[in-house]
Structure 1
Amino acid sequence: MKRTFTVVGLGAFGSTVARELSRLGNDVLCIDMNAERVNEIADDVTQAVVADARNEDTLRDLGVHESDAVVVAIGEDLEANILVTLTVKNMPKPEVWAKALNHNHHRILHKLGADHIVHPEHEMGMRLAHAMMYPEVVDYISLGHDVFTVEVRASEKIAGQTIAAMKLEENDVRLLLVKHQRDILTPPPADYVFRLGDQLVLAGMLQNLRNISVYL
């Protein structure tokens, strides 16, 4: 479904979000005070404007109040980030996704009522560390309270073996699905024999998932 988004701040994070939202078929308005950044993204989004997003009248003139969601991606200016978040939160319609620079900034954004607060540098650092420690992990999602779903790729360790070899039950981990090429097995039968490159989606507590990593 086509939606309308505004991205304020066109650094590496903001411009990536804007381009991907546009690629997914949405209307995307981009705002930044840096003309060079605006010009770089102008051909990739619906509209890109050089403007001061701290001015509420400017935002309303651009129709930001009609957006389904606004991404406050300002990273260099803490005061501007907070002011834009506050201004957009006072608009009745848009959902606010705000970039936090640190823990204290996160607390301020939370107090302002930001609907979603993201830490892109922290999250990317976490993903990089996990990828270095567990190279078989393709992706993961935190479900809160140390519960994760993890997508892993079957290695030579498990290829040719069945689910029993993963010691799932004794570690309280669930195998949600197995994808082999274009086939998806959900849940896979107990006698399924893993093949090299199969993609597995597992769910469980982080420590339990770590425990079974030796079998993958």
Structure 2
Amino acid sequence: VMLWNLQKARPLWTTNLQECGTEEDSLQSAGQLFNPPLAHSLSVASCGNIFGCGAQDGKVRIFRVTGLKFEHELEFRGHSLGVSQVLFMPESYCLLTGGNDGKVLLWDVSNDIGKQQKSPAKSLHKRKGQAAATARKDGKLNKVASNEHARILPKLTIEHGEKVNWITVESRLQALETQFQDLDSSLQKLAQKFEVQAELLEKERSQDTAWISALEDRYHC
């Protein structure tokens, strides 16, 4: 996972998800790691400096951007297979995840990161001169205890039945815009039908006028 400076087109910070493992994961050797934590999907929260990452190992990892880098905040698992999609809900710390196991899960991590939220500038300033508290130790990220966030459980589970390839959430404005577009399309179709009916009525009126004229001519004769 990489943080980029788009103006200079170069990465500012890089994290290997294999270094974000728990103590439980660290007991496994590289040969026993059947589902390596390949990053599949990223989503940034509305605050702008919290993002989630779904990986092949079935875990969701939450990171906090602090200045020119980002730190591993917490992680949790709810999917038996890889997490293919991660999406933060607008204006909240609720997120949806979709997996290769055919499940869609709703999570609420506001109690874990919302109250600890800090601006990137303040967070970076606080960490200056605190080398012992940096995210890296001996070239590796600090491990997160396996039971540290065991309390994080999904609030809702939807059995989709097939691999989840895409998740999207429509805002109220987008939903209203879609409804207005549908209404406008329906009005246009109704207007076209009225035009067709008006043309038919005009033809019938012309035919009636012709018949009346013919009958009048016949009886006058």
Fold match by TM threshold 0.5 = no
Q: For CA contacts below 8 A with separation 6 or more, give which structure has more relative contact order.
A: 2
Max radius of gyration: which structure? 2
TM-score normalised by structure 1 residue count: 0.24
